[in-house]
Amino acid sequence: MYKIPKEEEVRKALYAVLKKYGYVSSLKKLRDEMAKELKKMDSSYRLSMRRARIIAARSGFVRVEVKKGKGKMEGKNCPVCGNKMKPIRSISLLGEKVVLGYKCGLCGYSGKMDEMPVKYEFHLTR
């Protein structure tokens, strides 16, 4: 049986990992290291990459650096923190409203329609 750790426990694991390394250079490494910390609390705990990323982005003690590459923006939820993003609009030369991309009001991520994060870095801020 897999168990889902509580948010508080995930935050503790996140802090322990970043305290140890200072920063972590990929989402996969962050998740793997956090999963190790969580296993010390309960060996049946499992953590998804998505949840690790969202909790890190919203923790208040982690700065997420995002490297963007070509891709297609999927949905309107922030690919960093999961918050709903706002469209960045512009008026074209023909007077039409166009959406250039999306911006997140929570973590500050913004991306054009043809951009997606390709790499995440996580830094401890305090």
Residues that bind Zn ion (CB under 5 A): 78, 80-81, 83, 104, 106-107, 109
> What does the alpha-carbon distance between residue 38 and residue 119 come to, in Å, rounded to a whole number?
24
- C-alpha span between 11 and 58 (Å, rounded): 10
Return the number of the residue (5 or 82) whose C-beta is nearest Zn ion. 82
Q: Minimal distance in Å, beta carbon 62 to Zn ion?
A: 12
In the bound state with Zn ion, the residue whose beta carbon lies nearer, of 47 and 81, is: 81
Tokens of 82: 């999961």
Residue 39 or 103: the one with the smaller Cβ distance to Zn ion is 103
Contact (CB, 8 A) for 5 and 45: yes
Cα–Cα distance between 4 and 2 in angstroms, integer? 7
β strands within 10-109, DSSP E: 23-24, 62-70, 86-91, 97-103
Contacts of residue 75, defined as CB under 8 A and 6 or more positions apart, other chains included, come to none
Q: At its nearest, how many Å lie between Zn ion and the CB of residue 123?
A: 16
Give min distance, CB of 14 to Zn ion, in A. Answer: 17
Q: Which is nearer to Zn ion, 18 or 78 (CB)?
A: 78
User: What is the smallest separation between the CB atom of 79 and Zn ion, expressed in angstroms?
Assistant: 8
